[in-house]
């Protein structure tokens, strides 16, 4: 699979322009150069965090690989952790958008079979979106863990958002409201399965087996989980 730059999402510092294009250098205006530097920093961060690891990567190394100055780095990000958070948020946002589109496009019916279909479609869309750049697997699911208390809160808030999405979709398909822990367990379970499959699969081009296994496991979790008595 080719490596594609992660979508730019909330997390990087915004440009200082207020609508003025600014002076042109080498055929590119200030806004274009700003976007190009951001793209190079994103790609360098993904590459180094996914290979050397976050803790072993310095701002200097990121700047060298991205071919930008430290000044330009700090125009985009407050520090190295801000870049990590931005990359993590990008992977998550891309996954959420793909799942939301898949659920809307195929929403129909109610009951266990509808839930199975919903889970299968959502999983396939999520996995396809995440694997658009496999470097995001290590960055978003390994390197981001336990970096700081603030980033952990951000991760947990993100997980709660995913849980709310799963709960709403399951209930729309006719599943009883399950205990909150069932939805909270759904999200890390998917990512753990995905990481294990990536590490041990001989054929990374076809995650169909992964989708099938996860669909069985997670459908049973949603349909058979204890009811929320609150």
Is 208 a member of any domain? yes
Retrieve residue 4's tokens. Answer: 């594609």
Domain that includes residue 97, residue range = 81-224
3-state secondary structure at position 118: helix
Does 78 have pLDDT greater than 70? yes
- Tens digits of per-residue pLDDT, 19-65? 434 454 555 678 888 899 999 999 999 999 999 999 999 999 999 99
DSSP-derived secondary structure for 3-14: --PPPP-BTBPP
Number of residues in the chain? 230
The token pair that represents 40 in the structure block: 């190079």
CATH code for position 180: 1.10.357.10
What is the domain count for the chain?
1
Q: pTM here?
A: 0.80
- Evaluate whether residue 70 is within a structural domain: no
Tokens 């909150």 correspond to 180
> Minimal CA–CA distance to 141: which of 91, 210, 197, 95?
91
Q: pLDDT for 204-229, tens place per residue? A: 888 998 999 999 888 887 777 666 65
- Residue 35 domain flag: no
Is 45 a domain residue? Answer: no
130 token code pair: 């995440």
Q: Based on the number of CB atoms within 10 Å of its own CB, is 54 exposed (0-12), middle (13-18) or buried (19 or more)? A: buried
Tell whether 96 is covered by a domain: yes
Q: Does residue 107 lie within any of the structural domains?
A: yes
The single-letter DSSP state of residue 147 is S
């Amino acid at each position: 699979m080719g490596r594609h730059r992660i979508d730019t999402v909330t997390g990087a510092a915004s440009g200082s322009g207020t609508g003025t294009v600014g002076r042109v250098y080498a055929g590119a205006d200030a806004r274009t150069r700003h976007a190009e530097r951001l793209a190079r920093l994103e790609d360098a961060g993904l590459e180094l965090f996914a290979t050397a690891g976050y803790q072993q990567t310095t701002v200097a190394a990121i700047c060298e690989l991205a071919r930008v100055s430290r000044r330009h780095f700090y125009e985009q990000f407050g520090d190295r952790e801000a870049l990590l958070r931005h990359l993590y948020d990008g992977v998550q946002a891309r996954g959420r958008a793909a799942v939301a589109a898949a659920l809307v496009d195929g929403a129909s019916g109610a009951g266990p079979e509808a839930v199975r279909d919903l889970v299968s479609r959502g999983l396939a869309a999520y996995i396809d979106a995440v694997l658009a750049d496999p470097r995001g697997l290590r960055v978003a699911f390994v390197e981001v863990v336990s970096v700081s208390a603030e980033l952990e809160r951000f991760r947990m808030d993100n997980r709660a958002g995913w849980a709310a999405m799963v709960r709403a979709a399951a209930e729309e398909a006719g599943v009883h409201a399950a205990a909150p822990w069932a939805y909270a367990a759904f999200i890390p379970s998917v990512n753990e399965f995905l990481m294990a499959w990536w590490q041990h699969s001989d054929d990374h081009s076809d995650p169909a087996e992964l989708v099938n296994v996860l669909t069985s496991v997670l459908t049973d979790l949603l349909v058979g989980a204890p009811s929320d008595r609150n």
